[in-house]
Amino acid sequence: MISSVMEKYCIPKFESSCLTLAVLAASSTLCQAGTITLKTAPVVRWGTNLAPAIGYFDSLGEAFAALVQYQAAHFDKSLAEIPFYADRAAGSPFVDSGSKNINGIDNLYSWAANRFRYVLQSDGSYVLKSDPITSGIVAANMNCPDGAVYKFSNTTPDGKVQKAWCEVTIKTRDKRRNECGYGNPIFPAPGLKEQREVDYRSASGALQMERTYRSDIGAFASIASRSVGFSDYQGANIGAACVPRVWTEISYSGGEGVLTKTVRSGCFPVYPDGSKKALLTTRDGMLVEFNILDGVAQSSTSSKESAIKVVDSGGSTRWMVTTESDYIDVYADSGQLLSSWSMSGRKTSYLYSDGTVSTDIAPGAGYLLAQSDEFGRSMYFTYDKAGNLSTMQDPVGGVYKYSFDPQNRLIGVRYPNGLTVDYHWGEVDYAPGANGFQALTGRSETWGGITTRVGSYGYDADGNAISTEGPKGLNRFVVANRQTNQVDLVDPLGASRTMQFVGINDVPHVTSISQPAGSGCSAAHKSSTFDVYGNVTVRDDFSGSRTCYAYAGGRNLETVRVEGLVAGYGCAGVISAGANLPTGSRKISTAWHPDWRVEVGRAEPKRRISWIYNGQPDPFNSGAIASCAPVSAKLPNGKPISVLCKQVEQATSDERGVLGLAAVPIGTPRTSSFTYNQFGQMLTSVDPRGFVTVYEYYDSSSADYMVGDLKSITNPAGHVTQYVRYDKNGRLLKVMDPNGVISEMTYTPRGWLKSLTVTSAGDGYIPLTSNYSYDGVGNVTQTTFPDGSGLNYDYDEAHRLIGISDTAGNRVIYELDAAGNRISERVQDASGVLARNIKRSFDALGRLQQVIGSSQ
């Protein structure tokens, strides 16, 4: 039997008229790894001949201002020390005669100055005099990522103009895809730590701010990251995409000759190198490299992303990337993400800063300023002078504040409800290796003036994630005995499991997991076999049952699954169409949409289901192209929006699914059908009985709603529910049901329901209000009902429910083990008398083994 402890921590799984197309195929995708060598632009930092004392800066102006301030502060001291003079700048910096122009930047500047010194007079006195000089140098230092090679080429014979770049080797991979995460997730086989934080999501989901940390990348990534973008290696300019990396800045502190190394993080823009390739940097930080295939529509067999170059009738170039999550992301020729379209036509747009932006908003051009849905709701972003995200404002006006350390690592987020989350980096007790600078080692929360460390994450000397735990060691998972293709995992109950894995395209794929003996079952293991693309072809579970799989060529989509086989049974004899199946097994066959990763047909024992999408042939209408949305409702690639027009469920006589999608239907099919407006919003729904539900949306905006908000639903009986008012986040504030009963809602700054007031129709009815209170992370702490009664909820530091009490004084107290299992339950009455006491024990697999209960 599969371990419930392991399963519970498994992490399961977003218009052009004249088009010229060039098709690309992903050579490295989110499920495929590889090593690529990129050219990136160096990060420029400005220093002076006084850099040991004043440091390095992001701009020439900052460096020169610091120099002037330093000279003023040390004027008297300099006069009194060898060589007994002091300089003061007397003008602005100018390009030095020895300067070179590197990547369009003059790299050396001098400035006019006055040199002061005391001059001995004939009478023996000293007089302070000055002479004009040309003083010092401010230099642009070209920094490459650690491990990269700095290279340049002269573009003029005298070498005064140069093109410089960093040659850096990186891995494009997603380590996680083949295994579950454990605890606050670590992934043992690849040694990966991942942290996902959803700061905000609008009611429709079109707007959201989600941050993702991955230990193999070493930083949080989000839609507001400078790294997000698409870079064509054949482009004329540096693209918007950049590669997050660290570099080491070396100086001599205090002028005393003491070597100081400061590690910094930054994003290195990708240089075009003229090759037929392109690089996509996603909003969760992953890198996907594409090969341009000379205009032929061909993608790599393991790719889940594809890209198309589109030139419209106006000559504007766009890149359209179809993602694994069934979105089309549209990028400008510059590489900036312009819009994101769901398959149903929902659109999110992005606006960036230009050179005129105020420095209070962003330090320059190319920063995401706004994310907007198609109906006018928007989120807004600002940045600090280093280009790090400073604030995000949601449509209602709630402000999320982000703090970074001098090394550009995110160290804190403050939410509109007052919750503060702090991140800890590189703590030596958790990250002893040289890679610790970018290792997220902890997470703390401050709420109500109390700070609690809610997470700690450990790494080995090679940077592999080896532990994760909550406060006081709760929910602790530890990786031990790491070998080339094997690790041991110890869970919160102390049980150990061995995981074996194999590398496919450099990604670890788990081939075997053991489990300890439990109550009534002996120790066991489950195993998986994969094809060359990393698709599982054979899986044996802990009970000895085998499942076989087959996939669509080139798309890595499951087409056949045979379940219920005995371990060791050959898959080749059961996967093919019409193959006989042994007793106790069954087959599920699947067909897929040609453009999207959605099913259009499924056959299973005694049933077949068909889904017909807009713009696709309808087999139930003589193959005519299905149309359930306006002709004008198109995706940016010119194709119709892909919304479900019809679902047909049919019975068959195929007892075990042997015939697959060729099974002959019997009886009367159950058909549901749908229609939509130009935005992909449902207008009508017809169920298998022919009953029609009608949806209406607002076509203009007011203070109470916006275009596209749901206005009413009319059920098959003609009863109308009216949706009267929404907030700017798209959350429903007021609804009136067909009987005239009005419900009004309010929300907390984080979007959680704060109150619900129900007023019955007619005169004389008193509004009935229920109120809800929450802690900083959204756990309900108190519920108050209209009659004044209520419930209170208590949680431990790990946010686990440990008690419930009512206003009468009755109370339930829960005791949990390290894995969160409820091992005791005590019920007390209002006077504190124990009314019931239940104790539970669990086996090594986290399954309930024994219950001892009593009532007083």
pLDDT tens for 614-668 read 999 999 999 999 999 999 999 999 999 999 999 999 999 999 999 999 999 999 9
Highest mean pLDDT out of 211-220, 316-325, 416-425: 416-425
pLDDT at 798 exceeding the cut of 50: yes
pLDDT at 32 exceeding the cut of 50: no
Res. 318 pLDDT band, cuts 50 70 90:
confident
Rounded to an integer, the average pLDDT of 501-507 is 84
pLDDT at 21 exceeding the cut of 50: no
Q: What is the pTM of this model?
A: 0.89
**Which pLDDT belongs to residue 784?**
98
Task: Indicate the average pLDDT of the chain.
Answer: 88
Q: How is 466-477 classified by DSSP, letter by letter? A: EEEE-GGGTT-E
* CB-CB contact of 738 with 714 (8 Å): no
pLDDT at 164 exceeding the cut of 90: yes
User: In the chain, where are the structural domains located?
Assistant: 43-143
pLDDT tens for 586-599 read 999 999 999 999 99
pLDDT at 52 exceeding the cut of 70: no
The angle formed by the CA atoms of residues 321, 325 and 326, to the nearest 5 degrees, is 60
pLDDT: is 165 or 250 the higher one?
165
**Which pLDDT belongs to residue 594?**
94
From the list 666, 662, 641, the residue with the least C-alpha distance to 653 is 666
The angle formed by the CA atoms of residues 650, 655 and 660, to the nearest 5 degrees, is 65
In single-letter form, the type of residue at position 787 comes to: D
Rounded to an integer, the average pLDDT of 724-739 is 97
**Which pLDDT belongs to residue 465?**
95
**Which pLDDT belongs to residue 700?**
96
- In angstroms, the CA 418 to CA 371 distance is 24
Which residues lie closer than 8 Å to 374 by C-beta, 6 or more apart? 206, 346, 347, 348, 349, 679, 708
Half-sphere exposure of 461 (CA within 13 A, CB side): 0
Q: Between the CA of residue 486 and those of 173, 482, 483, 492, 515, what are the distances in Å?
A: 20, 6, 5, 20, 14
Among the ranges given (154-158, 509-513, 517-521), the one the predictor scored with the smallest mean pLDDT: 517-521
**Which pLDDT belongs to residue 48?**
81
